[in-house]
Amino acid sequence: MTAGVLDDLSREVIDGNAGKVDDVLQSVAHFIAAAQTLSLFGEKKTVWFRGVTFLSDSVTGRAADTLEALERLQDFLETVDPQSVNILITASPVDRRRSFYKWVEKTGVFQFLKSGNAKDLGLHIQKELRPMGIEIGPDAMNLLLEKVCGNARLALAESVKLATYVSGESGGRIEEADVREMVPDPLEGDFFETTDVFFTGNLSGTLDSLRRYFFTNKEARPLLASLQSRNRLLIQLRTLLDGGEIAIGYKGVDKGALERASEKYLCHYGDSKAKSPLNVFTQNPWYLGKIAQQAGHLKLRKLVDFQVAFIDAFKELVSRSKEHEEVMQALAIRCLG
């Protein structure tokens, strides 16, 4: 689209990476403003809305304000003069049920690129790292793929960053701890670091993680929701493990055993097959094995005590609206001290 364009001002790239609804509104507004501003030198302008993340089936993507922003975006795109401006929109992941997606598919020059599976993406990452003399451990690879949510472009970019971080004169190896430290958590805010450290039982590590979290955040309820979600899964896992229904191997929870248990107990979960921490059988077997190993020292009674403590902490957050960090610190000490 920009072949032959000499004026840099005729090429604009707008970041569509949005972690919350406010980011969606801001990025859509920036994109529309850029597309409305014509080139000063009469050249045909090109605007790339790059890496849009809010077309996915996510909390941010489903928000009412996000859907309204997409309606405004569609209304604007319907008025664009293709003789004055080129527009490119790239997005990953996408919910193909969305009306905006279907409209773009029918209206524009459209291409859908199906993502490969985790194994294929892992091979691409290794191919990228090989010329640098860098290796990546299997646990590090699995965590990286989990954190980038299968986004191939983001996975490769983070791989290069990690390679730079661990490289020395004789090369290096990317380990799980490097990924956890250097790669940001998914945009929906699962808060992997604090949640992971909490369930290892490491009190000092949890308090350090809480300090880092509250350095940039004031609201504790999303973090508490993450802890509760993990705990729900662990309660179900511990029950199945203690009952001999499933086993854990080096590849995670045995898939066959999980499927058999699903057939036995699915009547208690209803018909929904949507991925949810309320339903252990909708989760990835490798991921279940990972979190079960991290929390292997926790018995069912302790996990139930955690859930009660989380409920009490939520009540405290409501009554102590300006003391969220103190409430979460007290929760950690109460549970892990």
State pLDDT tens for residues 62-106. 888 999 999 999 999 999 888 888 999 998 878 888 899 999 999
Quickly tell me which residue has 């969305």 as its tokens.
98
CA dihedral over 223, 225, 226, 227, signed as positive or negative: positive
Ranges in the chain, pLDDT < 70: 6-8, 39-42, 114-118, 149-150, 168-171, 184-192, 250, 271-275
Contacts of 130 (CB under 8 A, 6+ apart): none
Whole-angstrom Cα distance, residue 44 to residue 46? 7
31, 42 in Cβ contact below 8 A?
A: no
Pair type for strands 85-91 and 134-136: unpaired
Q: Tell me, yes or no, whether 187 lies in a domain.
A: no
pTM: 0.49
Pair type for strands 85-91 and 45-52: parallel
| E runs forming strands in 237-322 | 248-249, 252-253
Q: Tell me, yes or no, whether 301 lies in a domain.
A: yes
The pLDDT tens digits for 30-68 are: 999 888 887 666 678 889 998 898 998 888 888 889 999
Instruction: Kindly report the number of other CB atoms within 10 A of residue 173's CB atom.
Output: 14
DSSP 8-class letter at 243: T
Whole-angstrom Cα distance, residue 322 to residue 221? 12
Instruction: Kindly report the number of other CB atoms within 10 A of residue 24's CB atom.
Output: 25
Same domain, 162 and 99: no
Whole-angstrom Cα distance, residue 256 to residue 258? 5
Q: Tell me, yes or no, whether 113 lies in a domain.
A: no
Count structural domains, the chain: 3
Q: Give phi and psi for 89, each to the nearest 5.
A: -120, 125
**In this predicted structure, what is the pLDDT of residue 273?**
64
**Which of 182, 200, 221 corresponds to the end of one domain?**
182
Same domain, 123 and 199: no
Contacts of 273 (CB under 8 A, 6+ apart): 282
| Domain range enclosing 155 | 118-182
Strand partners, 174: 136
DSSP 8-class letter at 143: H
238 token code pair = 């511990």
